[in-house]
Structure 1
Amino acid sequence: MAKFVWLASYPKSGNTWIRILLTNYLRDGAEPADINTLLGGPIASARSWFDEWVGIEASALTDEVVQRLRPDVYRCMAREEQETILMKVHDAWGLTDRNDGLFPSDITAGVVYILRNPLDMACSCAHHWGVSVEQAVQNLCDGNFALARSVEGMSDQLYQFLGSWSHHVLSWLDDSRLAVHVVKYEDLRADPYFKFGEVVKFCRFQWDGNRVRKAISFSEFSRLQRQEREKGFRERAVKASGEFFRRGQAGGWRDELPAHLVRRLIDVHGETMRRFGYLDENGNPL
């Protein structure tokens, strides 16, 4: 039986980049991996997997029943595999209505949690969701925020409760009691060899420094943008207002995010932002 390494993050935090790096590292090909055949996906909330393993279409069930069944779907998947399963997750960590961990500890090897400055995420989420920056900030601050709600109609994904950005972060890091390795998007951009190397070691994959360097080269943002332009990216949201691989920068919020929205995010998430080095001791953005 295999165990999962959950690649968890709030949307637009760098999850896809981590998966591309891991795919290039593990496949060790002569050419960059196809962005449309990545490991770890499409996502833990994919409706197709649930329907296949349960034998009942999720559309026939309430969100509560679907959430109750999801842990056992993952257990069934683990029984069928022999090697570590990488799985992308955007849900917050939590319990089902029967007190079962949505991502069960008995089949979990660890969690790689990808963390990003919410000031940068606001602009990325707005483009990804096809909404205004104001709405994206509201979502990041909404304690009841969820994706793929039933009221929104049929989706290729299951209901995912995220809560606010701070709730999402702390649910995995403080509440899950799972082995969690945190990788900050900004640190990964600044020192990919060291920071991605830490991810490889945490996942207990065989270490090879040359493969790490090659994976980083094959995962350069310009290469990803070129692939998306040439053949599209199947994980790009239908409502997205632009390309998935848009800017990939750290600190881009300074050119895009209005001051009143910066203040709103700091007012709501200041404590968490300060904990992870996004604010100085006076509450100013770094």
Structure 2
Amino acid sequence: MNAPRPQAVIWLASYPRSGNTFLRTLIANYFSGLERPLSLEELMLSTWGEHVEDIWQGITGKNPVQRSHTDEFYARPAYFAQLRARIPNQLRLVKTHTPYVNMDGKPAFSFVPGDRLIHVIRHPCDVAISFAHYFGIGLDEAIRRLTTRDTCHTDHPQMGHELIGSWSQHARSWIGMREIPGFGIRYVDLATRTAPVLADIVRFLGHQPVPARIDAAIGFSRFERLRAQEDAAGFIENAGRGNQSFFREGRPGQWQEVLSPAQSQRLFDADPELIDRFAFATDLAA
């Protein structure tokens, strides 16, 4: 008897603190068909990711503290095979902060026919600010991590290891991906030109955008509304991080007010070609 064909998913890839949650909130609210915003709990149920602990333990036989980064990397094909089988046959969103890389010839991702990718890239200077707040570290340490290849997170022991790489390494890995259809967006465009960008995303996913649903999804996904939901009921992705809000601000261009010239230059110098390609040095709103 033939094994069932793996179900396709929509990969949502970004460096941490680059707008992935805002992206999936917009998509989930658009496709929900509801006349109200999804709760944060409903949002979590609409999107899957790399930290379903019972799958990891079933494959490796180890808890997150016992597992090494290599344990998790080599188990990724089995992990995602089980994840695909578990996701309901509805909106099949899978969030990832892992770069599209190989280790010892083994890829971090195994795609199947029908998979699609949406990749969001954010100005590294704004990423550094949000990164520092979220992980409770200084700006200089955040910049060091963003400019260090093969950076691996262990800041949240109960979530295991998370390979993110440097900002440049991560961005280039997904920009160069050619295995499945991909759609790339800058976070600044998602934040400031939300309606046309969301309409383009809906088209990329094979649907004709409905203007009224676009407008509703944008209203349901406003940062103030998400922040109010988090304040009222909490948010699982922010668990264990004290009083810091997950939905802090999301405003493009903060780096011009917060970073010193030397700090921003360190991020620019890490990959000047990519900075120029995405107009991050010249677009003051980026």
Is the counterpart of residue 253 in structure 1 residue 235 in structure 2? no
Structure 1 residues 50 and 206: alpha-carbon distance in aligned structure 2, compared to 1, 3 A threshold: farther
* Superposed CA offset, 1:154-189 (max 9, x none): 723232221110000011111464322111110112
Residue 185 of structure 1 pairs with residue 187 of structure 2 = yes
Q: 1:208 to 1:50 in 2, by over 3 A?
A: farther
Residue 103 in structure 1 maps to residue 105 in structure 2: no
Match of residue 3 from structure 2: none
Separation in 2, partners of 1:107, 1:70 = 18
- Structure 2 residue aligned with 1:127, among 113, 128, 133? 133
What is the deviation of 1:143?
0.9
- CA apart distance, 1:269: 2.4
* CA distance in 2: counterparts of 1:91 and 1:272, whole angstroms: 19
Cα distance in 2, alignment partners of residues 239 and 66 from structure 1: 24
Number of residue pairs the alignment of both structures matches: 278
Q: Is structure 2 residue 16 aligned with structure 1 residue 14? A: no
Quote the Cα distance in structure 2 between the aligned partners of 1:31 and 1:275. 38
Name stretches of at least 5 consecutive residues in structure 1 with no aligned partner. none
Tell me the residue number matched to 2:147. Answer: 141
CA 1:5–1:100: 2 relative to 1, 3 Å? farther
Distance in 1 of aligned mates of 2:270 and 2:243: 26
Specify the alignment match of 2:235 in structure 1.
233
| Structure 2 counterpart SS, 1:11 | coil
1:218 Cα deviation after fit: 0.6
1:48 aligned residue (54, 68, 87): 54
Find 1:165's aligned residue among 164, 167, 189: 167
Deviation at residue 84 of structure 1 after TM alignment: 5.3
Q: Give the aligned CA root-mean-square deviation in angstroms.
A: 2.5
2:30–2:216 CA contact under 8 A, matched in 1? yes
Q: Which amino acid aligns with 2:17?
A: K
* Letter paired with 1:125: F
Measure, in 1, the Cα distance between the counterparts of 2:178 and 2:111.
9
Aligned to 1:23: 28
Amino acid of the structure 2 residue aligned with 1:92: P
Structure 2 letter corresponding to 1:91: T
- Alpha-carbon spacing, 1:73–1:107, altered in 2? closer, same or farther (3 Å): farther
Q: Which residue of 1 aligns with 2:119?
A: 113
In the other structure, the counterpart of 1:92 is 99
Provide the residue aligned with 1:71 in structure 2.
77
Would the aligned equivalents of 1:90 and 1:162 in 2 still touch at CA under 8 Å? Answer: yes
Q: Distance in 2 between matches of 1:247 and 1:194?
A: 22
What is the CA distance between 1:96 and its match in structure 2? 4.2
Answer yes or no: is the 8 Å Cα contact 2:188–2:285 preserved in 1: no
Q: Deviations over 1:21-78 (max 9, x none)?
A: 11211212122111233155452244333225x2723545443232112112212332
1:273 equivalent in structure 2: 275
Structure 1 residues 124 and 205: CA distance shift in structure 2, 3 A: same
Matches within 5 A, 1:145-224: 145-148=151-154, 155-175=157-177, 177-205=179-207, 207-224=209-226
